[in-house]
Amino acid sequence: DTAVSQTPKYLVTQMGNDKSIKCEQNLGHDTMYWYKQDSKKFLKIMFSYNNKELIINETVPNRFSPKSPDKAHLNLHINSLELGDSAVYFCASSQGNSNQETQYFGPGTRLLVL
Amino acid sequence: DQQVKQNSPSLSVQEGRISILNCDYTNSMFDYFLWYKKYPAEGPTFLISISSIKDKNEDGRFTVFLNKSAKHLSLHIVPSQPGDSAVYFCAAFYSGGGADGLTFGKGTHLIIQP
C-alpha cells in the first residue's frame, strides 16, 4: 500500500507547455507539501497546504500553482514550462501542520523540459 | 544561502564499522532536526529525529547527536550494513514557523563496503 503516490513518475515535455503532477496520500494526513530537488541536489520547499492555509515559498514563480480537490490530493500545475523547471518534484504529507510530525514523501516525479 | 549544510558529499565505510554522518546548520531558530534516507528513484524516507531540548536520540542502530552550541548534529549508524548504502539528508525546521516545510541539506552518499 503506497502511502504517498505521485503521477507521472517521469514527464518529458517542451518549453512553453502547461503540465500537472498529481499527488495523493492515503494516510489521512492534514498537510501536504511540494518540494523541488534541483540539479545541485537541494530539496527545497515550494508549498505547504492544509485545509485552511496555503503557504508559498516566495521564491516560487507564480507559474506554479497547487490545486487541492480534497484533503488527500495536492496537485502541482505548472504553466509555460521553462528549461530551468527541469528537476525532481517530491510530494509529502504530515499529520498536522506543526512540522513536528514526520513527513512522508512520495517517490518523486522527474520532469525534463526540452 | 545554505541554512543546513552537509559538507561530505560521500562517505565510504566498511561493513560492521560505525558510520558517522555530519550536519551543520546556521539558523539558530531551528529547533527540530530529522534525518532522511533516500534510495535511487525513491522519495526520502524518515529515519530518526531529535528535538532541540535533547542532545541524543537513539533508535536501534541509529543514534542522532545534537550539539546546539556548535549548531551541529550527527547521525551514527552502528554496525553499518550493506542496506544502509543510500543518500542521507539532514533536515531542520523551526516549530514556530507553521507549516513552512523542512530545510534540507544536500545529502551525503553513504557507501557500505563489504
**Angstroms from A51 CA to nearest CA on chain B:** 12
Residues 59-88 of B with CB under 8 A from A: none
User: What is the b/e burial string over B3-33, where b = at least 16 CB atoms within 10 angstroms of the residue's CB?
Assistant: ebebeeeebebeeeeebbbbbbbeeeebbbb
Backbone φ and ψ for A83, nearest 5 degrees, come out as -55, -40
CB proximity B89 to A under 8 Å: yes
| Contacts A42 to B, Cβ<8 Å | 2, 104, 106
User: What is the b/e burial string over B37-49, where b = at least 16 CB atoms within 10 angstroms of the residue's CB?
Assistant: bbeeeebbebbbb
**Angstroms from A77 CA to nearest CA on chain B:** 19
Picking from B49, B99, B101, the nearest residue to A53 by CB comes out as B99
Of A27 and A43, the one with more pLDDT: A27
Integer angstrom CA distances of residue A74 from A18, A53, B62, B81, B92:
17, 13, 33, 36, 23
What's the CA gap between B4 and A48, in Å, rounded? 19
Statement: residue A100 has pLDDT above 60: no
Q: Which residues contact A35 (CB under 8 A, 6 or more apart)?
A: A43, A44, A45, A46, A89, A90, A91, A92, A105, B101, B104
A33: cell is 507539501
Statement: residue A43 has pLDDT above 90: no
Tell me the mean pLDDT in the region A59-85: 93
User: What's the pLDDT tens digit per position in B80-96?
Assistant: 999 999 999 999 988 76
A2's enclosing H/E stretch is none
| Contacts A43 to B, Cβ<8 Å | 44, 89, 91, 102, 104
* Grid-cell match 530551468, residue found: A84
Q: In what order do the strands lie in the sheet with A75-78?
A: A4-7, A19-25, A75-78, A64-67
Which residues, in sequence order, are bridge partners of residue B112? B13
Statement: residue B37 has pLDDT above 80: yes
| Contacts B39 to A, Cβ<8 Å | none
Residue A49: closest C-alpha in chain B: B99
Q: At CB < 8 Å, which residues of chain A contact B?
A: 4, 31, 33, 35, 40-45, 48-50, 53, 55, 57, 90, 92, 97-100, 102-108
Question: In the prediction, which pLDDT does A18 show?
Answer: 96
Would you place residue A20 in the very low, low, confident or very high pLDDT band (cuts 50, 70, 90)? very high
Chain-chain contact of A55 with B103 (C-beta, under 8 angstroms) = no
Picking from A40, A49, A106, the nearest residue to B43 by CB comes out as A106
Question: In the prediction, which pLDDT does B43 show?
Answer: 85
Chain-chain contact of B101 with A4 (C-beta, under 8 angstroms) = no
How does DSSP classify residue A103?
P
Question: In the prediction, which pLDDT does B97 show?
Answer: 62
